[in-house]
Amino acid sequence: QVDLVESGGGSVQAGGSLTLSCTTSSYSYEAYNLGWFRQAPGKEREGVAAIDTRGKTNYAGSVKGRFTISRDNAKNIVYLKMNSLKPDDTAMYYCAADQRGDIRTFDFAAWWGQGTQVTVSS
């Protein structure tokens, strides 16, 4: 059963912004490293952004400077703020939680949500 629920996706023009959210009522995020991943048609899932339990972050080079991951442990929400979106950002976006997830390499053996679609047009 899927515990994580992503929301906030949609369709935007290049240069636009979206903020994604992911939450669960099944457990507390406080003890978990959290990450955002994406998968485009015909491609493997890739790590986009990650944040550890202390708030340290890591980003894929393709999104660094444009995306920001943050967490609100009190509300049990992890966010992905996406600015200056490009057509190459089009994908299904997933969040993940893993107590042992490696935020440096995006190596998560994680619980996954169902995803939220982001589509960026020219």
Q: How far apart are CA 30 and CA 13, in angstroms?
A: 35
At 111 the pLDDT is: 74
Q: Is 87 helix (H, G, I), strand (E, B) or coil?
A: helix
57-73 residue pLDDT tens: 999 999 999 999 999 99
- For the cut 60, the answer to whether the pLDDT of residue 1 exceeds it is no
User: Element (H or E) spanning 4, and its range?
Assistant: none
Q: How far apart are CA 48 and CA 57, in angstroms?
A: 11
20-39 residue pLDDT tens: 999 999 889 999 999 999 99
Q: Is 29 helix (H, G, I), strand (E, B) or coil?
A: helix
pLDDT bin (cut points 50, 70, 90) of residue 2 is low
